[in-house]
A = this chain, B = another copy of it.
Amino acid sequence: MARLEDVAREAGVSASTVSRALSRPGMVAPATLERVRAAADGLGFRVNPAARALITGRTGFFAMLVPDLENPFYAASIAAAQDLAAQRERRLLIAVTDGSAQREQAAVHDLEEQVDGFILLSPVAGTTELKDLHRRKPVVVINRKVPGLTSFTVDTPGGLARIYDRLVELGHTDVAYLAGPPGSWMDRRRRATLAEHAGAPGLRVHIRGPVPPSFTEGARATADLLATGCTAILAYNSLLALGVMFELGRCGVRVPHDISVAAADDMAFAGLPGEPITAVHAPAPDLGRHAVAALIEMAGDASGRRPAGRTLPTTVRLTATLAAPRSAGQAGPVTAGGERTGRRDDPAGQAVDPR
């Protein structure tokens, strides 16, 4: 393996010049730069990351902790994050936590020495632990707001409210909500949104779950949801909704004729045949990219300045998978609505309070 000094000899300069040419091209004369580059290419030189890390104290790795790889929302965030990281010459270390506080903590502990920062997706650790970690390494949080940390979230509650309003408008009186991951910050927010609306006249909200947000659990919970006597089902996320719809199909219950279905993010719905499913669209790839960009900024800036987080706007697609309940006498699907932006009374994409 060629070393810096080999390149230096080949290019007729010193090792420091090669180092500078390769990592800070602006600090070197253009002619020298070219000679160094030619020599490096010729020898197939690649820096030894360990040697660099030893002296700089930075490894070029970020740890990204996710509850679950199969969840398309997370998978999309990861993929986008990894792309941006690769562009900026950083690498992402993915660790799966299964949504368990213990595994999350273990992963943080294991990785702490090896990374320049953490991206935490839907972390379950306490606020105190998270802030504590941030004192040691830069931390960015996705899908949860943690005061004092840079957080990127999506305005799903705003979108959910839109769907909820639509259901009321259509005449539904019994809506079931299938709750997501136990202990999840996002699920609490979604439930809170529903609770706010439960005051509407003659409206009942039946909460079932919580369950891990997977296709299988959606299918398994379906019988329970139907047993509530509801005419519409809202699911914590699209994976659960898909599982519900799968089971409904298997049991011969038709959507939307017999029941309306909607979900809080549409990651699993893209490209499905038939009528598009009513859902709140969340820009998962953007979350991943924002997090990486913020982490790079923090890790580069020794001053401890912390970039502001954001709540990204969601988009609601109201479609014919929502219809009036059969009992309301308005048979047949409703005409598909257009796209609308998330929460109405709250400017989308507003910055998180950077306390």
Contact = CB atoms under 8 A, between A and B. Distances in A.
Interface stretch (A25-33, A107-115, A184-192, A327-335): A107-115
B69 A219 contact: no
A273 B79 contact: no
A297 interface: no
Give the oligomeric copy count: 2
B46 A50 contact: no
Contacts of A113: 46-49
Nearest to A96: B79
Interface string A60-92: 000000001111100100110010001000010
A272 B216 contact: yes
Contact of A220 (B95, B112, B271): B271
Contacts of A48: 54, 113
Interface string A270-300: 1111100000000000000000000000000
Q: Which of A51, A113, A216, A246 has the most CB of B within 10 A?
A: A246
A333 to B, nearest CB: 14
A94 interface: yes
Given A70-B69, A96-B78, A246-B242, A271 B216 contact: yes
A39 to B, nearest CB: 18
A111 to B, nearest CB: 7
Contact of A273 (B112, B223, B255): B223
Contacts of A252: 252, 254
A202 to B, nearest CB: 31
A153 interface: no
A222 interface: yes
A268 interface: yes
A59 interface: yes
Contacts of A94: 93-94
21 contacts: A46-B113, A48-B113, A49-B53, A49-B113, A49-B114, A50-B54, A51-B54, A69-B75, A69-B78, A91-B114, A94-B94, A215-B242, A215-B268, A216-B270, A219-B273, A246-B249, A247-B273, A248-B249, A249-B249, A249-B250, A250-B255
Given A48-B113, A70-B72, 20 more contacts: A49-B113, A50-B54, A54-B54, A69-B78, A69-B79, A70-B70, A79-B96, A82-B96, A86-B110, A91-B111, A215-B268, A216-B268, A219-B273, A223-B273, A245-B249, A248-B249, A249-B250, A250-B255, A250-B274, A252-B254
